[in-house]
Each structure stands twice: as C-alpha cells, then as structure tokens.
Amino acid sequence: MWMVHCVLLTLGAAVQTPSWAAQEIRVGAAHFPPYIVRPERGADTGLLPQLLTALNQLQSDYHFIIVPTSVARRIRDFDQGRVDMLLFENPDWGWRDVVYSRVDLGLEDAEVFVTRRQPGREQTYFDNLDGKRMALFTGYHYAFAGFNPRAKFLTSTFNATLTYSHRSNLQMVLRGRVDITLMTRSNLREILNNNPQFESQIMVSERADQIYHHFAFLRPQGPIQSQAFSRLMQTLRDSGQLEAIFAPYHIEQVAVVP
C-alpha cells in the first residue's frame, strides 16, 4: 500500500508540472569584456547578462542561464554538450573541427592596437610589429598572428607577454614595459570612460587588427534551434532593445546576413 501511495504521489507531481515550463538554455560565458566579465566569480556584469535578461523577459518558452567557462575550455564544453550556446563568437576563433549552427547577431566591434603616446610617434608605428614588445591576452585569436593562440608561438614569434587581464596589459603599455597591446574597441572605450586620464597618454591605431562580426553558435541537437533564436534576436532588434544594450559601448548594429 505504501508503494502504491508513493506512485500516486509521483504521478500527481508529474501531472501538476506545467506543460509550458520554459526550456533551459545553458549559455557558455568566458571572460571577454565588456561582453562577459569574470563569470566564474559570479559577477552579474557585462553585456551578456543584460542580453539574456532581455531574452527571458521577451518570452516564456526558453529560459537562458549563464554557465561559466573559459576562453580555452569553451569550445570543448560546447562540443561535449555542457553548454548549449556561445555568444559573441567568430568562426576564426578555433572552431574549425566543431559542428555548430550559427546565428548572425548583427553586431560589430573591432580589435585595435594601443601604444604609449610619445613625441614623433605616428600611426605608421603600427605598420611593422617586428622588434616591438607586445602584451596579449592568453588564449585569444589575433588576426596579425594568423589566429594562432598558442602561447609558445606568440611569445617566440612576437616577443609577447601573455596575461589574463586587459587592464594589466594597458598598464604595461603606460609604464613602458611593453610597446603595444591589443584591445577590443568597446572594452578600451569603457576603460577610458572610467579613467579619462589615460586618454592623453595613449595612441590608438586607426586600422583594426580584426573586425568582430559577432555570431551565436548553437549545438545542432540542442534545446533551441537557430531559426527560433534568430527570431528572438530580430524581435529585440525591432523593439530597440538591442541598440539600448550595445550602443553605449560603441558596438555597431549592422545588417544581418541570413
């Protein structure tokens, strides 16, 4: 009798579970300011939390949550199904042997060279990197390096110091410990807004090392398909919410390629 009672309780709980319960979507988050800021520390900062909040408020079919990962681990986590989606990605960043569906986010940013401002130093300073000391972020794929992120290659070929902090890289430039660093334009703008004294001390390249045309990468067998996610993003775009999130960081909205 006790077993029958337990079965009935279990069935009752199943019946009471709403059929409309939202499908959980696990979004991998690796440190990439200002988009994603130290997710492993539980900090609810950066543009990704804002975007996921907007997506969750938009509808009730899906519930997007952040799952912390790292730059080096994110593709493996995706490939092994630990996360369902990664945002602000690019096919050149280590995805050659991975199967994914992609959604064009219609957002563009750029990575620029930064050096210390000195008398006589012009934009031509960035034309040749030979012999210049560089500060780079560990694991990042840089266009000037052929998108090769291997530490040994970067340190030996480009005399690079590798760190886990963009701010530290900028400080090394300001203190003359290195000659050049690279930063995402949006991240540099945020740092300068908070530290206006740096503006007169640095020179930023007019040319970009690479243009970030951002995509969302989804697991083909995951809980949300590319068409559904594309429709949600288009709704945010049409309502002006996408612009409200990204425009303050000078991240441009561009035409979406189907």
Instruction: State the pTM of this model.
Output: 0.87
Mean pLDDT by 10 residues, the chain (258 residues): 42 45 94 91 83 97 96 95 97 94 97 97 96 96 96 95 95 97 96 94 97 96 96 97 94 89
pLDDT at res. 19 = 45
Is 10 contained in some domain?
Answer: no
pLDDT at res. 41 = 77
pLDDT at res. 188 = 95
Same domain, 195 and 119: yes
pLDDT at res. 67 = 96
Find where tokens 């050049």 sit.
180
The enclosing domain of 223 has a CATH number of 3.40.190.10
**Structural domain boundaries, residue 187:** 110-211
Is 167 contained in some domain?
Answer: yes
Same domain, 145 and 224: no
Bridge partners of 161?
135
Same domain, 80 and 47: yes
How many domains does one find in the chain?
2
Same domain, 126 and 189: yes
